[in-house]
Structure 1
Amino acid sequence: MGKIHTYIRTTMVSGLVLLISSCSNTKYLNEGEMLFTGAEVKIESDSIPRKEQKELKENLEENLTPKPNSSFLGLRPKLFFYNITKEPEKDKGLRYWMKYRLGEEPVLLQDVDREFNREILVNYAENKGYFNATASYDTISKNKKAEIHYTVNPGAQYKLGLVEYEKDTTLINTEIQKLTDKSLLQTGEPFDLDVIKAERERIDRNLKERGFYYFSPENILVQADSTVSNDHRVDLNVKLKDNTPQLAKEQFTIDKVIVFPNYSMDEVKLGRYGIPMHIDTLSGYTYENIYVVDHENKFKPKIFDRALYFKTGDLYNRSNHNLSLSRLINLGVFKFVKNEFVVSDSVNQKFDAYYLLTPRELQSLRLEALGRTNSANYAGSELNLNWTHRNIFRGAEQLKVAVFGAFDVQMGGPKDAANIFRAGANAQLSIPRIVAPFRFQSSSAFVPRTNISIGYEFMNRTELYTLNNFNASFGYVWKENERKEHDLKILDITYISPANITEKFDSISANNPFMQRIVEPQLIFGPVYSYTYTNTMLPKKNTIYYRGRLDLAGNLAGLISGGNAKEGNQKEIFDVPFSQYAKIENDFRFYHKLNDKNSIATRLIAGVAYPYGNSEYIPFSRQFFIGGSNSIRAFRARTLGPGSFDPRTLDNAFFFDQSGDIKLELNAEYRLNLFNFLNMAVFADAGNIWLVNEDPDRPGGKFSKNWLDEIAVGAGLGLRMDFSILILRLDLAMPLRVPYFEKGDRWAFDKIDFGNSDWRKDNLILNIAIGYPF
């Protein structure tokens, strides 16, 4: 305990020194300099509701510049590191990193243009309809620190009165009149310059869908008149500018579609392909109204017919323009995709569409060496050799072949736990279309794909057994949009063949059917479907991620054969009983952004697998597992469950092999950015796995009405170093509730003893991982 107390005292003293040092940043200032500590806006108005005042105040403060030095708990550690680090001689090295990456240059009062900010506040208020706004400022200084107080008197906010769209007989005006029923400018709404800009962009967006390629939002003029009444109302008149170019008023159709699939910037410099130029000089060919210039004959023209949504005679629209570009990019075979429209007939308003495509390297070879560790006390390495051909049959088909080898060695923990060696190879052919006897129509920007894969893995658990794993699949992947993805494997086959089962394993598992099932031959086949929805890529305060998966194995074969394992009528294929079960799993995540530095992340996992017909049990490889660095981090991987079963009663070699048919897991994290690349998390995990059927060798493992009493709970702290190219994660967790302890004694708060080395060894679990857990 003495050492613990010494450590605590040392930590407190160090923290106090850092606190004092951080607070004395002003001692580094020169004579006459003052540290800028922030600005505040005060709204003075009797006519604006408090909620509206609060929102206006926040928006006004957001527009002030510059921002003061970042702070943490009232301190400015980044400024502190800048001040204590000498000026580096070079723009690299530790000193440069300390001063300009870890540190932050002081923001001084002299850096603040107070009059400029005052004008910004007035302009913003007027843009939001407060036409008679005024603002003033006052500087408060003390002890070489200064803050600025701005006072804004916005006056009454003007509302929209009459909104008119000026009419004439031109074609473009006729199209604009068709858009007025969905105008963003509505009588009675507050005057808002941002809404006016959005309305101009809406009109422009819709006109581009109607063939007006050369139109621009700047061609629209919105005239405001606030003198028509005395009740703070402003009338708007929306019209085309008088100087709008004639080309912007024309509605264009597609004349010719020309594709250069081997385009490069050098060819432009050399003038090989001049644009525009006559098609008959390009030495290409026509396929389905698309002219292809492919002198090297690298690509089948069908891929362009599927990807391009423009045909000769089509009215130009922006949706098909963007859709074509996106699908060309999603083929995965072109590094750069460029599109140009050149007027070919100005009288009849026609232009040619040129697609200038720069291919990627069609073949690549990559060697990867990985190191890893996990909470089950295993450390290991993996070596992968990957070869990719992105255009194997000239139709943008991707062939990927990988060969790998890996080993995991037990480092401490239960003795006699077997080391693991894995090796294998796999190949996947991805075809950029749906290969099926039916026609599949997709208007998505993402190219649908047919995937065919085959693989083999050899796994040797030293001194115990060897498993040969053969797998193959055929299926489709398609995306409705960037948020929704479907993955349907029409057939997913796995065949597991055991070998080299040792006498040691036989003696350990002689009286344990659960262990024996690990090395049983397994034949699993059937469809697998998964659906993913996510909007986490959007800049929203609340975002979600959901992935659902349905696995139906042996259903048709079981129905035809009439197999029934419980009645001793189990059917076989090639002398191996085939598995029959239904499995569903759901992964739901919710992210709430508090501000730029703070967020909350939560995850719920729920799944169930039910064996029937030809199977009495779920195959070991298809069961659920829990624990580890991406699950309940206070328990080592696969050492928890099922239910209240105590896995410590098993032989050490199988301590890490607990599995179940039902899984429930809940995780929550509070994530905080400390500074730059360093992030911290406070987390809690809860959950368990259970069995569908009773297992006499694992008492307490079956799911029952007492499932809530068998939930495991863990919590901890984590550090995450975000280096952009990778995120290194360190999570230290401890169990708060252990389901295999005696009833009434499962909460572990009273057992926490940081001063006890044995307790720390058994209960503090360090998880080292790459990336976030969810």
Structure 2
Amino acid sequence: MYFWIKIISPLKRISAKISFIILIIVLLYACDSTKRVPNGENLLVHTELIVDGKTVKKEEVINLIGQKPNTQFLKLPFSLYVYNWASPNPDSLFAEKFIKDTLRFQRTSRLLSEKQVYRLGESFWYSGVHKFLKSNGEAPVLIDELRTKKSLYKLKSYYFNEGYFKVTATEKTDSVGLKKVKSTYTVTLGNPYVIDSITRKIDSPVLDSLYLLTENRSSVKKGEIYNSGKFEDERNRLTAYFRNNGVYNFQQNYISYEVDTISTGDKANINLLIGNYSYRSGDTLVSKPFEIFKISEVNIYTDNPNLKSSSKITDTITYNNFNIYSSDKFKYKPKAITDAIFITKGSTYSDFRNNLTSRSLANFKIFNYPSILYQVNEKDSLSNTLIANIYLSPRKKYSMAPSVDLTHSDIQDFGITANLSAGIRNVFNGAETFDVSLRGNIGSSRDNANPNDQFFNISEIGLDAKLSFPRILFPFKTDNIIPKNMLPSTQISGGYAKQKNIGLDKENLTGSFTYKWTPKRNNSINVDLFSIQYVKNINVSNYFNVYQSSYDALNSISKNYDVNPDYYDENGTGDLIIESGTDGFLNDVLGDTPTIFPTEEDYNDIKNIEDRKSRLTENNFILSSSFSYSTSTKKGILDNNFSVFRTKIESAGNFLSLFSGASNQPTGPNGNKTIFDVEYSQYIKTEFEYIKHFEFRKNSVIATRAFIGVAIPYGNSDNIPFSRSYFAGGSNDNRAWQPYSLGPGSSNAQNDFNDANLKIAFNTEYRFKIFGQVRGALFVDVGNIWNFLDNIDIEAAKFTGLSSLEDIAVGSGFGIRYDFGFVVARFDIGFKTYNPANEIGNRWFREYNFSNSVFNIGINYPF
């Protein structure tokens, strides 16, 4: 038998290799890139741009070339292959197979009706699959002379606008194979032109005076190389500057430049031209100097008669120089509306105030986006004042929205969540909103300790309510600290949730009082004046069913000693009975009158098991305050060059400590102070996160994230509540480890749900297009969690200084994503590249294989 295996095994390997080679040959034949290239045409396989003798790969310039080869991945045009796999005429193939073949048509018609046979041609198998392949692939890029000429024109225009007025460009096409060509663009720049002088001719005295105040901020400067982009920037800057300083009727087209290069060598003389305001009066074109406009009147229409032409004004209020009109009974407190309006009587017209008013009113969430129109005040003899008419379109006072979602999380493999939310707008006539939501969830979890052979074995029900005010609720005025142009708001929220068959089953009661405002665009600040969370474990007896590793360790240790036989299940497994046996053994070792005296090592392990059980089964009462700040440079959903910074600091237990001390509250079983017979948590926690995305090239992005967070217990606590701790691993963290299965430190994830109070994480991901809507990613995830300044005594889990950084885990891998447009489905596979749980010297690449890999499913990008 031994020799038989020895002989046959190499043959099997050779056979497998031959089969693999044949498969590759077949695939390469099927993936012939010129398969759909017509005779007489050529496939463009390579494009090169040479500028002044140097190859240029700058994405901005390369994109000017209208014809570029098909998208490649690993040097292969997979998008073209996908397109080629599709039949060019699936309808003809179907007709040839079924319609023209009379016998086959008759046989098929006996099984299906004739109508169903014809409809087969529209099915996915005969038609849809080919449409899918074409839509997700790329048609072959064929060399085209007209598009080449357009590319040359764009290249010359680009460099001309960069100041190279004598630029020339040519293109050469070379054959590189059967029906394959490469295209080489050659650009010769010459010397750039430098701005030698700048003069101006501004006809309107008002504009000339304004210009002199801001001339030093000009984007166009003497001595710099001519760049048309800077001229466009200057036109935008001046237009915004003039309009924000009262020049209501100014438009960008009034600004032009004369560029004189005649007999100047390689220098350019610039003349800025701004003409007078021109308008048509009857058949006559009238021109006059620009003027600064002021606001003479502000009218607010609370139910938008502009949309109800037949409506009549029935209610009018004048408040703080605002005229407020309504066609029905007035429903709003005047101050609530006018506080959101920054266009005031007597002020100078400003686009900025106009836009800020629109944002502020839309932020109320009781109106649709407002309409703001201006008209020249005809009663003004000088015709330089404006009437501002603000039209508000109220949303419905009551709303209700049911929803059903399919979910996946670290707790449940599959879940169905139903949500019924209702809202009331303008609750107290001050633009307040009240939202309430009832939610229920049923899910399936392989980690559930009591599945009872049911697919849906976990559930949760919850009720959440939130009351929002579009202002800061405070006993004193805060306008000097947080002005209303920062769009301040106050939220009072509360919620209740009950979980079943999730861990120890919990009741969770929450409440918060929060201030929010935006110091400037894309910046936000949140201040939780207070946040309350009360967590009650309602199935403590289930602990050792949930935390199986703790049970296994305790059960194994117990069998080394003379333990009460009543603690064991003699008729079943012979293991400790949960809960009478486990608690009895723990009491015999750690109780006031111990009867079992284990070794020091076993005693420490038992003590750690008991400490963790006590921590995870105790109820938590957390009263905290926090400050959060975030800023982003992202300009839109298509922006791939941006950064995000977030930070948060949270403090818990200080107020409760004062209250408990002053009211002589009793101490709990651990000797700590209590509130309502619950030991409250006291800690300080801070987090920093930085995310950076930049476009590496077209259709490819490099995304990075750095995170550090630490929560330090003190006073009434010597550890951090599980709900405020950190974990490592999972689809949005280190993807080479399952959630909660990494760390702390090098302790090899001894528990079922490993957590700690210090976390460091770094992630880098290279995202690229493969074909169609299919995207790929290569990633490296770095980080771990540690115990820091808490009561955990396991040395391998503790952070003791810079030397502990050698316990940072490294995971790497790749992912496939499909972009549906509104959501991205993500499939990642991570490999343990550096595992700190292994012995030193055996940490790198020891588990870098598919058998130890982790497959992750996620929705949208991880960061």
Give the shorter-chain TM-score range. Answer: 0.7 to 0.9
Picking from 479, 490, 495, the partner of 2:534 is: 495
1:558 alignment counterpart: 657
- Quote the sequence identity (%): 28
Does 2:468 align with 1:435? no
Q: Which residue of 1 is the match for residue 808 of structure 2?
A: 711
Contact 2:719 2:791 in 1 (8 A): no
Q: Report the Cα distance in structure 2 between the residues aligned to 1:68 and 1:109, rounded to whole angstroms.
A: 10
Match of 1:638 among 740, 746, 753: 740
Tell me the CA shift for residue 455 of structure 1.
0.9
**Whole-angstrom distance in 2 between the partners of 1:163 and 1:226:** 13
Residue identity matched to 1:701:
A
CA spacing shift, 1:444–1:13, aligned 2, 3 Å? farther
Residue segments in structure 2 that go unaligned for 5+ positions in a row: 1-8, 92-121, 280-286, 543-577, 587-605
Residue in 2 aligned with 1:130? 164
Match of 1:363 in 2: 398
How far did residue 423 of structure 1 move? 1.8
Report what 2:358 is aligned to: 325
Q: Structure 1 pair 715/674, CA: closer, same or farther in 2 (3 Å)?
A: same
Greater displacement, 679-688 / 108-117: 108-117
Instruction: Report the TM-score when normalising by structure 2.
Output: 0.78
Q: Does 1:411 align with 2:457?
A: no
Amino acid at match of 1:700: A
Q: Given the alignment of the two structures, is residue 339 of structure 1 paired with residue 388 of structure 2, yes or no?
A: no
1:447 aligned to 2:487? yes
Aligned to 2:83: 82
Tell me which moved more, 336-345 or 112-121.
112-121
Matches within 5 A, 1:563-602: 570-602=672-704
The answer to whether the 8 A contact 1:635-1:765 is kept is: yes
Name the counterpart of 2:618: 520
Counterpart for residue 215 of structure 1: 250
> Mapping of 1:308-319 within 5 angstroms?
308-319=341-352
CA distance in 1 between partners of 2:711 and 2:385 (Å)? 60
Which of 314, 325, 329 lines up with 1:293 in the alignment? 325
Distance 1:8 1:427 in 2: 64
1:30 and 2:38 are equivalent in the alignment: yes
* Cα distance in 1, alignment partners of residues 825 and 14 from structure 2: 31
**Aligned length in residues:** 741
* 2:723 counterpart (614, 621, 632): 621
SS at match of 1:767: strand
Deviations 1:700-752 (A, max 9, x none): 333224523433332222112121111111111232344444x3365163355
- Deviation of residue 61 (structure 1)? 4.1
Residue 199 (structure 1) shift: 1.8
Give 1:365 shift. 2.4
Equivalent position amino acid for 1:499 in 2? I
Relative distance call for 1:100 and 1:388 in structure 2 (3 A) is farther
What do you get for the CA RMSD once the two structures are aligned?
A: 3.5
1:313-355 deviation line (CA, Å, top 9, x unaligned): 2110111111111212222233332221111236231121122
Of 511, 529, 535 in structure 1, the residue corresponding to residue 627 of structure 2 is 529
Q: Does 1:764 align with 2:853?
A: yes
**Cα distance in 2 for residues equivalent to 1:753 and 1:195:** 54
Change (3 A) 1:437 1:591: same
SS in 1 for 2:417: strand
**1:688-727 superposed matches below 5 A:** 688-692=784-788, 700-705=796-801, 706-727=803-824
Q: Which residue of 1 aligns with 2:775?
A: 679
Comparing 312-321 with 189-198, greater Cα deviation is found at: 189-198
Q: Distance in 2 between matches of 1:771 and 1:4?
A: 41
SS where residue 249 of structure 1 aligns? coil
Q: Which amino acid aligns with 1:319?
A: F
- SS of residue paired to 1:180: helix
Out of 161-170 and 526-535, give the one that drifted further. Answer: 161-170
Counterpart of 2:501 (choices 455, 461, 466) is: 461
1:395 alignment counterpart? 430
- What do residues 260-312 of structure 1 show as CA deviations (whole Å, max 9, x unaligned)? 33338753xxx447xxxxxx967533232222233233443333311111111
Indicate conservation of the 8 Å contact 1:215/1:248, yes or no: no
* Residue aligning to 2:759: 663
Deviating more after overlay: 360-369 vs 155-164: 360-369
CA distance in 2, matches of 1:568, 1:58: 64
2:715 is paired with a residue whose SS is: coil
Q: Report the CA distance shift for 1:148/1:349 in structure 2 as closer, same or farther (over 3 A).
A: same
Amino acid at match of 2:80: L
Shift, 1:416, TM fit:
8.1
Over residues 90-130 of structure 1, what are the superposed CA-to-partner deviations in whole Å (9 max), with x where a residue is unaligned? 89972464254212333333363444443433333333322
Distance 1:368 1:254 in 2: 46
Pairwise CA distance, 1:768: 1.2
Q: Deviations over 1:507-548 (max 9, x none)?
A: 556461211222212221121222212223467775322222
Aligned residue type for 1:471: T
For the structure 1 residues 567 and 256, does the alpha-carbon distance in structure 2 shift closer, same or farther, using more than 3 Å as the test? same
Does the 8 Å CA contact 1:66/1:111 hold for their aligned counterparts? no
Shift of 1:188: 1.2
AA partner of residue 712 (structure 1): A
C-alpha separation in 1, matches of 2:59 and 2:696: 15
Aligned mates of 2:473, 2:700 — CA distance in 1: 46
Give the superposition deviation at 1:663: 1.7
Alignment correspondent of 1:349:
384
CA contact (8 A) 1:565 1:616 kept: no
Give the direction of change, closer, same or farther, for the CA distance of 1:159–1:400 in structure 2 (3 Å limit).
Answer: same
1:765: how far off?
1.8
* Residues 726/324 of structure 1: CA separation in 2 closer, same or farther (3 Å cut): same
Show the counterpart of 2:566.
none
CA distance 1:733–1:751, change in 2 (3 Å): closer
SS at match of 1:615: coil
The CA distance in 2 between the partners of 1:337 and 1:87, in whole Å, is 52
- Bigger Cα displacement from structure 2, 561-570 vs 387-396: 561-570
Partner of residue 555, structure 2: none
Q: Describe the shift of the 1:662–1:29 C-alpha distance in structure 2 as closer, same or farther (beyond 3 A).
A: closer
Bigger shift: 206-215 or 577-586? 577-586
Name the amino acid aligned to 1:255. S
**Counterpart among 281, 293, 303 of residue 262 in structure 1:** 303
Q: Does 1:63 align with 2:55?
A: no
User: What per-residue deviation string (whole Å, max 9, x for no partner) do you get for residues 390-420 of structure 1?
Assistant: 4333333222211222244332799989964
What do the CA deviations read for 1:359-384 (whole angstroms, capped 9, x no partner)? 33443323333333456774433322
For 1:447, give the aligned amino acid: L
Match of 2:646 in 1: 547
Q: Which amino acid aligns with 1:744?
A: I
Greater Cα offset, 170-179 or 745-754: 745-754
Is the partner of 2:191 in helix, strand or coil? coil
> What secondary structure sits across from 2:797 in the alignment?
coil
SS at match of 1:582: strand
CA drift at 1:205: 1.4
Q: Is 1:736 the equivalent of 2:833?
A: yes
State the 1:693 CA deviation.
5.1
SS in 1 for 2:536: strand
AA paired with 2:355? N
Contact 2:168 2:188 in 1 (8 A): yes
Structure 1 residue 434 displacement after superposition: 0.7
> Counterpart of 1:334 in 2: which secondary structure?
coil
- Quick one: which of 180, 185, 190 aligns to 1:155? 190
Is structure 2 residue 50 aligned with structure 1 residue 42?
yes
